[in-house]
Structure 1
Amino acid sequence: MTTEDSSTDTFVSHLIELRTRLMRAVGAILVVFIVLFLYPGASAIYDILAAPMLASLPTGTTMIATGVITPFMVPIKVTLLAAFVLSLPVVLYQAWAFVAPGLYKHEQRLALPLILSSTILFLLGMAFCYFVVFKTVFEFIAGFAPQSITPAPDIEAYVSFVITMFLAFGITFEVPIAVVLLVKTGITTADKLRSGRGYVIVGAFIIAAVVTPPDVISQFMLAVPLCLLFEVGLLIASRMKPLQAEADETETAG
């Protein structure tokens, strides 16, 4: 067998492995989706998601659906989102399992802490958005609206807004993981990241201005946690040794 044939076989085997991992991740999401669709049901899950908005609307006011199939499709989308969030540990594990064979043993030890911490932080970001940000922003908008206007948000636009905000805050809460990984893998050091703190702060407010609605409150509620979480990541990373240093110490001890 020639070197070219061997390289082709390796590439094909990687594609097969990728397909297997993707199918398992998608399968986990579908299983959770079916369970949630049966109980508590797509409508009940949507009602939970809509609760912060409904609480800020005038008494007796409800949300509207302008599309023909929107009342059916929107709860389905929300249930699928919930299924993805609940299946996140499986999805992350499948992603890690795909790249793990190409890593050293001391790098593979990061798998479990990385999956657990990433999942927990992402869920904390979504929870912070749901219980704190939505309540604050919706009440601010409702209080700012003129008395002559009766707000009746469209459910499709609302879900798009909610998904964007969930992703923004979920990813924001992953900042400590990113900082730790940058230092742990030796890409940079905690001191270098600390010296670039000013750029991080400016970048945080730029990202918040782009992602969040055009109001100061929601922008601050995204930018400030991002900056604080960056500092948390620096604090943790400064107490950790790079993977290569740990590997060298292990070889020396051995």
Structure 2
Amino acid sequence: MDNPTGSSQSSQAGKTGEAAALMDQVYRHQRHFYDLTRKYYLLGRDRLIDRLDPPAGGSVLELGCGTGRNLIAAARRHPEAQFFGLDISAEMLETARANIARAGLSSRIRLASADATDFDAEALFGRATFDRVFFSYALSMIPPWQAALTAGLKALAPGGTLSLVDFGQQDRLPRWFKALLFAWLTKFHVSPRADTAEVVNGLASRHGATAATGTLYRGYAVWAELQRGKD
């Protein structure tokens, strides 16, 4: 007798494996100088970190944590919180662990390998929900990015906030700049999402949450904050 559940799980595992292999290929060498170059154009990350404002003793999860740069900055900015990060790339996680250890923050930051669109936080970290969940320039690299947003909301504790920042549509910048930027991003499998605000607002409406969205730097970046109601 056929087992559709087993087939579905196998298919998901296959897709996760393919995505992990692609990200490892893209960042196997880049991870060594990633933070030195990205600081010039991943704009709005520190604004997001400043606005996290987790409660004392609270928990913060980054989905698509990459080299650990944001987690380190957030842990320093919010010293009373505990931080967690997951990424699909083993190469990136290797760099993240080294960076976190070098920063002396291994006791406050825990990492795990997982797919941001389908993960079991309880199994990974021993907790099902977090006071803050955030994406920093990660959704544009996740093909099923709406599934990742839904998974992030699922991992959000009542009263918690999900935050994101990513590439915008460059709508108030010169057309030549947008064309060059988007062509360059394509080389790294990065696809800015034109409907981020619409998707976030729809997600909030369906789940009884509230949302705020906007752009930064003349449309260079898009940001959003989605707050879950207190059950």
TM-score normalized with structure 1 length: 0.25
Higher relative contact order (CA closer than 8 Å, sequence separation 6+): 1
More helix per residue: 1 or 2? 1
TM-score normalized with structure 2 length: 0.27
More strand per residue: 1 or 2? 2
Please identify the structure whose Cα radius of gyration is greater.
Answer: 1
